Amino acid sequence: MLSSRILALAALLAAAPAWPAPAPTVEEARRFMDQAEARLLKLNVDSSRADWVRSTYITGDTEILAAQADEQLIQATVELVHQAQRFAGLKLPPELARKFALLRNSLTLAAPTDPAQSAELTRIAAKMEGDYGAAKYCPTPGRCLDVDQLSDILATSRDPAALLDAWQGWHNLARPMRTPFARYVELANLGARQLGFADTGAMWRSKYDMPPDAFAAELDRLWTQVRPLYVALHTYVRRRLREKYGAALVPAHGPIPADLLGNMWAQDWTNIYPLVAPPAEHATYDLTQILRARNTKPLDMVRDGEHFFTSLGFAPLPPTFWTRSLFVKPADRDVVCHASAWDIDTQDDLRLKLCIEINAENFTTIHHELGHNFYQRAYSRQPLLFRDSANDGFHEAIGDTIALSVTPAYLHRIGLLDTVPPTSAGIGLLLRRALDKVAFLPFGLMIDKWRWEVFSGRIPPEKYNETWWAMRLQYQGVAPPEGRTESNFDPGAKYHVAANVPYTRYFLAAILQFQFHRALSRIAGCTDPLYQCSIYGNHEAGRRLNAMLSLGASRPWPDALYELTGQREMDSTAILDYFAPLKKWLDEQNRGEPSGW
């Protein structure tokens, strides 16, 4: 009798209309976010530790452990993003609302909700990065070269056959990545769509406090401002390379072969400076030779970088930085030598991972990476979701901003130059820097433009390589040194493609660093030409810089930009101001020379 009554009651309840769920409250949203940040903090630390070991001890086991930790973090973030939808439409206090927005946009890789697909995606991502780090080209039995050794050939050799062999050797190693990359795109897009994004590219573009399409248009605006400067540099360099290698290799009008520009990806042309240097009256110093002549050690270069920041009033790096970082490539194991700065516990466990070589490029790279570390510590007191840069371009720009202050006058002050070069050396200094900064701009832009098209489906797998080189021609004016087909996968020869690292941040940084430098130079009272200004030792510049860094991601990036520069819009005119003397000189050198490609 009792059971029949219970069944009857259950039937009535089932037939009755469901009561609506109570509307969420602001206090519930706050509790949810507090719990989410606590959970994500632990998983972030676990993932960082596993990724550090995977990057510094590449084995099958460390790849699996890192993939598992990354999968747990990604799955938790995806789960929290879905749960946070309950609070959509609820009017929240501005700070709390920003946390919910940042949570939704926090992923660069959104795993699908299906556990098997999620595990597959994180395994593919970990393996692609691990394969990149362990890849070696073996031109002869018993002689195998990694990407750094092959890059040295591109940087120093002037033998076209050796350059071509090193370029081919590395790029051909990426062929096996094509199939897993296509699957990674498929799974990553599935995860992004489950979070409400059109695809992974749209998810990446949503991180910039503006609609994705508006952000893409902003990039085009910035590129349009600086393109004439790049074209002038390209025209000059092409002529000088033609003088060196002949018209058979370098045409009078057309793209430059990618293996002749001194860098594996033709993104930084600094290494060909001796081939394109201006006349002797404009000659400048060679920092690489100076460092080596002084028997500089890797840690000496890191100490120099730290000293610049402490001269601005920043506290020294913690003791654990010096004991836990990787500064020199180990002889007994494979590591990912690509330079990176780490904030393991989002507090004070700061680390640098870099296989340091004694040269000017690494001297600058160290300043760049330490910029990440000092930024990380500046915002470490913020809530977890605000422990990041205002946008990812800010993070990349800070260290490079400091490096722009590594002027001859600064090098003289720290004892690396006996005398300051005469004013006539300015063109040489600017040309060398343009081969780095200006040459990089179109490459920094096209990497993600290509990936956005891949994620959207407008570039199908059967056209990966064709469109890669079409876009490199469009933006960079470079071409492969030999015919490439769809049996190749040349995008995978770039670390950031293999490692799922968005690249637009580097283009933004290339613009922002000059905007930051111009503002800091004015704060420091510098009245010299912008390229001669250094903020070394100026505490007021350091105070204003730290005020911006300390904001982290707590406010939209235009607010952070305004804090330092008084502007709310990214602006390419600072890079034009910086290189104005060089542009005038390039135009004189290019008179009568065909421009463009």
Catalytic annotation, residues:
338-339, 368-369, 372, 396, 496, 506
Rounded CA-CA distance 291/295 in Å is: 7
DSSP state of 359: S
Residue by residue, DSSP assigns 320-347 as HHHHHSB-S--SSS----S-EEEETTSS
Give Cα 177 to chain centroid, integer Å: 21
Contact 271, 262 (CB under 8 A): yes
Residue by residue, DSSP assigns 248-293 as TTS-SSSPEEGGGSSSTTSS--GGGHHHH---GGG----HHHHHHH
Contact 528, 357 (CB under 8 A): no
Rounded CA-CA distance 178/489 in Å is: 6
Contact 119, 183 (CB under 8 A): no
Rounded CA-CA distance 432/412 in Å is: 18
- Which residues in 56-74 are b (16+ Cβ under 10 Å) and which e? bebeeebbbbbbbbbbbbb
**In 3-state terms, what secondary structure has residue 575?**
helix
User: Which amino acid makes up residue 93?
Assistant: P
**Strands 256-257 and 478-479, how do they pair?**
parallel
Contact 540, 523 (CB under 8 A): yes
What secondary structure, in 3-state letters, does 339-375 show? CEEEECCCCCCEEEECCCCCCHHHHHHHHHHHHHHHH
Virtual torsion, Cα 50, 54, 57, 61, nearest 10 deg? 90
Question: What are the beta bridge partners of residue 343?
Answer: 350
Rounded CA-CA distance 530/580 in Å is: 10
Contact 512, 389 (CB under 8 A): no
Strands annotated E in 96-213: 137-140, 143-145
Q: Which pair of tokens denotes residue 7?
A: 């069944």
**In 3-state terms, what secondary structure has residue 78?**
helix
- CB neighbour list of residue 343: distance below 8 Å, 6 or more residues apart: 48, 349, 350, 372, 373, 376, 377, 380, 387
Contact 356, 370 (CB under 8 A): no
Contact 379, 247 (CB under 8 A): no
Rounded CA-CA distance 164/47 in Å is: 39
Question: What are the beta bridge partners of residue 326?
Answer: 353
User: Which amino acid makes up residue 228?
Assistant: P
Rounded CA-CA distance 78/113 in Å is: 8
- CA distances (Å), 395 to each of 358, 406, 512, in order? 25, 19, 10
- CA distances (Å), 474 to each of 204, 216, 449, 477, 479, in order? 23, 17, 12, 6, 10
Rounded CA-CA distance 17/554 in Å is: 44
Torsion angles phi and psi, residue 435, rounded to 5: -65, -20
